[in-house]
Amino acid sequence: MDRNTFTGLFLILIILVGSTYFLQPSKQEISREKLVQDSINNAGSTKKPVKTLAADTAVVAKTITVDSALLAGPFGSARTGNNQPVVLENELIKVNISPKGGKIASVELKSFKTFDQKPVILFEGEANKFGLLFGSAGKNINTNELYFTSTAPSLSVAKVDSGSLTMRLNYGPEKYIDYVYSLKGDSYNVGLSILTKGMQDVIISDQQNITLNWETILKQKEKDMAIEQRTSSAYYKMVDGDVDHLSVTESESKEIKEGKIQWISFKQHFFSNVLIAKKGFSNGLLAINTSTEKDVVKGFRANMQIPFTDQDLNFPMEFYFGPNKISTLEAVGYDVEKQIDLGYWPLKYINRWVVLPVFNFLEGFGWGYGLIILVLTILLKTVLLPLTYKSYLSMAKMKVLKPEMDEIKAKVGDDNPTLLQQEYLKLYKKAGVNPLGGCLPMLLQLPIIMAFFFFFPNLFELRQESFLWMNDLSTYDAFFNLGFTLPFLGNHISLMCILMTISTLIYTYFNNQVSGATGQMKYIGYITPIIFFGVLNSYPSGLNYYYFLANMLTFLQQYLIRQFVNDEKIHARIQENKKKPVSDKKKSGFQKRMEDYMQNQQKTKNEIAPVKPGGKKK
């Protein structure tokens, strides 16, 4: 390439670069052009809504087609409706009935409050279900999802009156299901009769039973959630049987097949939801589910079978929504009061036929419940005074004999416990002392003492009743709030439980002075009250108050008995008894059996004793 050609190409390159630099658009021009392009794009996008509208139209058309299919199916006209609650109300309860399902949606007990002073609502929310399950036209029907119509918007009943209204689920002309609700003025009971008309052709012909499904979640109403959960479960009673229940600690389901079921109950600590079938359910399934949610006690489910024939159904039932007060439950009938746990045999009979009548009698004086418990304890200790006296006297005799027993033990040694017991029995026989004389009276008192362990925690009358610093005798008095949780104790310390424990320790100390207890028995007496402190710290303050009073009254009784019992006189009497011939002394059956047992034991021991070299037994 010559010089002229190179010079020409270089000038052309300079011109191109210079024009590119000087002719590029400014920032303002770029912004203006961007706005123009955005406007063009927005103008082009007006076609998109047409496409979306077409898609939405297809969805709406599809929805209309599905809804039309539903409306054309069984109970199609009942799949939509107004869900304005229908209210049943008397002086005690307010019942909201939902048109959707025709069911009782919630029940408020007007006379009671929860532990945090909110209204007591027995059940409410979406988890509450009540409906009939059956097959129709190849579909599974659940009336809980269908809308009923009411004969009246509400029903308010005065104290001496009664009334009823009907929730109707229409299928067609002369074909319907009715829920007839009835209410009396001064009652916790709500009547419910399920009636059908012309449903024989609607419900599949081979279905001999209609399933009644009832489900709910019960929420916390008492301060102590742990005790409320331990006292809540599903209960039921057979027509020809006794009351039974599912587990109170674990989730459980149970099929009930043999015999008719009279009633089922979703029971909480102090309130119950009971459904009574006057003709009895054919069979059923009950289930409970424990919960870890903060304010949920337990979940409940019941599937009960209602007999269905080719005739119109008339199945009368009755709900009970109310307190677990024994006198109130007794008025309901059907042994509903037996779902209150008054203890095992014989404790429940002591509570039911002895303690409760006395408590109700004292309640009639209009006293406060703190005073009633005091008088009840005084009456109980007075009745048990003869046993207390015998127990004290026997322990005093054993204390007088203790020096002689120590001498026997030093002579015989600890190597032969059988021989030692034989010598002790000989001493008891000579002295005319029954070694179990102090234990037997205490054992006879034990069932009564244990009966109160079930009585007070389940006594509705103590709920939210105060005495001294105890705001609620039916639960613990959190006198000291720890701010943290300790094993066994929880997050609080109960002052009444402390007083009960201290009084028990003092009682143990004086009891040991009377009986002369030593060794392990002495220390066990001090350890036991400490253990019970951990157990009873979260139990009702009314129970701890009773045990505290019982200890204090026992102190008083022992002080009075001591004024009439002289150890020197007891010792002199024992010495006189020892001088009498053994044949003159009355021997108890226990003493005779004990002697025979000891003699046999000693004889057996001698027979199997090893032989020393030389032919002598060791």
Range of the domain at 86: 81-340
Pair (332, 373) in one structural domain: no
Residue 53 lies in a domain: no
Total count of domains within the chain? 2
Per the domain annotation, does 546 fall within a domain?
Answer: yes
pLDDT band at residue 586, thresholds of 50, 70 and 90?
A: low
pLDDT of residue 65: 42
Based on the number of CB atoms within 10 Å of its own CB, is 506 exposed (0-12), middle (13-18) or buried (19 or more)?
middle
Confirm whether 22 is domain-assigned: no
Q: Does 372 fall in a domain?
A: yes
- Residue 397 is predicted with a pLDDT of 78
For residue 588, the SS3 value is coil
Contacts 24+ apart (CB under 8 A), 514-518: 514/392, 514/395, 514/396, 514/399, 514/558, 515/395, 515/398, 515/399, 515/438, 516/395, 516/398, 516/399, 516/402
553, 470: one domain: yes
Question: Given this model, what pLDDT does residue 63 score?
Answer: 39
Question: Are 377 and 289 found together in one domain?
Answer: no
Q: Is the same domain home to 148 and 226?
A: yes
Contact 88, 183 (CB under 8 A): yes
Q: Is the pLDDT confidence value at 11 over 60?
A: no
- Cα dihedral across residues 34, 40, 44, 49: positive or negative: positive
Confidence category of residue 613, pLDDT binned at 50, 70, 90: low
| Confidence at residue 519, expressed as pLDDT on a 0 to 100 scale | 66
| Residue 441 phi, psi dihedral angles, 5° rounding | -60, -35
Which pLDDT does position 181 carry in this prediction?
A: 97
- Same structural domain for residues 335 and 237? yes
Both tokens assigned to 165 = 């209204």
- Please check whether residue 528 is in contact with residue 547, taking contact to mean a CB–CB distance below 8 angstroms: no
User: What is the percent of the chain where pLDDT is above 70?
Assistant: 78
Determine the average pLDDT of the residues in 606-615: 54
Helical segments of 364-494, H only: 369-383, 385-412, 417-431, 439-455
Amino acid in position 234: A
**Do 255 and 393 belong to one domain?**
no
Own/partner contacts of 162-167, CB < 8 Å, gap of 24 or more, are 164/191, 165/86, 165/88, 167/86, 167/97, 167/99, 167/102
Q: Is the pLDDT assigned to residue 373 strictly greater than 70?
A: yes
Partnered with residue 599 across adjacent β-strands are none
Residue 214 lies in a domain: yes
**Is residue 24 scored above 70 in pLDDT?**
no
Residue pLDDT, tens place only, 164-203: 999 999 998 899 999 999 999 899 999 999 999 999 888 8
Measured distance CA(442)–CA(501) in Å, rounded: 19
- Say whether both 515 and 380 belong to one domain: yes
Give the mean pLDDT of the chain: 82
**Other beta carbons less than 10 A from residue 475's beta carbon:** 25
**Per-residue pLDDT at 130 exceeds 90:** yes
Mean pLDDT of 266-275: 97
Higher-confidence residue of 57 and 382: namely 382
Query: What is residue 161's predicted lDDT score, i.e. its pLDDT?
Result: 86
**Residue 290: closest CA among 245, 236, 235, 234:** 234
The answer on 391 and 284 residing in a single domain is no
The whole-number average pLDDT for the span 116-140 is: 90
Pair 387, 508 in one domain: yes
Mean per-residue pLDDT, 531-553: 93
Domain check: are 403 and 313 in the same one? no
Q: What is the pLDDT of residues 414-445, one digit of tens each?
A: 777 788 888 878 777 777 777 776 676 677 77
Say which residue, 457 or 69, is predicted with more confidence: 457
- Whether residue 147 is predicted with pLDDT greater than 60 in this model: the reply is yes
Answer yes or no: is pLDDT of 592 > 80. Answer: no
Average pLDDT of the residues in 366-384: 94
- Flag whether 518 is in a domain: yes
Residue 39 lies in a domain: no
As a whole number, mean pLDDT of residues 146-165 equals: 91
Residue 582 identity (one-letter amino acid): V
**What residues does 302 pair with on adjacent strands?**
214, 286
- Residues above pLDDT 90, as percent of the chain: 49
- Going by C-alpha positions, the residue among 538, 537, 508, 548 that lies closest to residue 374 is 548
Q: Is residue 71 part of a domain?
A: no
**86: CATH:** 2.70.98.90
- Cβ–Cβ contacts within 10 Å for residue 36, how many? 10
Do 414 and 544 lie in a common domain? yes
Give pLDDT tens digits for 212-226: 999 999 999 999 998
pLDDT interval class at 23 (50, 70, 90):
very low
pLDDT range class, residue 596, cuts 50, 70, 90: low
Q: What is the pLDDT of residue 35?
A: 40
The answer to whether residues 401 and 538 belong to one domain is yes
Higher pLDDT, 333 or 485: 333
Please list, in sequence order, all residues whose beta carbon lies within 8 angstroms of the beta carbon of residue 535, skipping any fewer than 6 positions away: 488
Residue-level pLDDT at 200 = 86
Model pLDDT for residues 75-108, shown as the tens digit of each residue: 888 999 888 999 999 999 999 999 999 999 999 9
pTM: 0.77
pLDDT of amino acid 518: 65
- Letter for the amino acid at 44? G
**Phi, psi of 190, rounded to the nearest 5 degrees:** -125, 115
Please report where in the chains the tokens 């109403």 appear, as a residue: 221
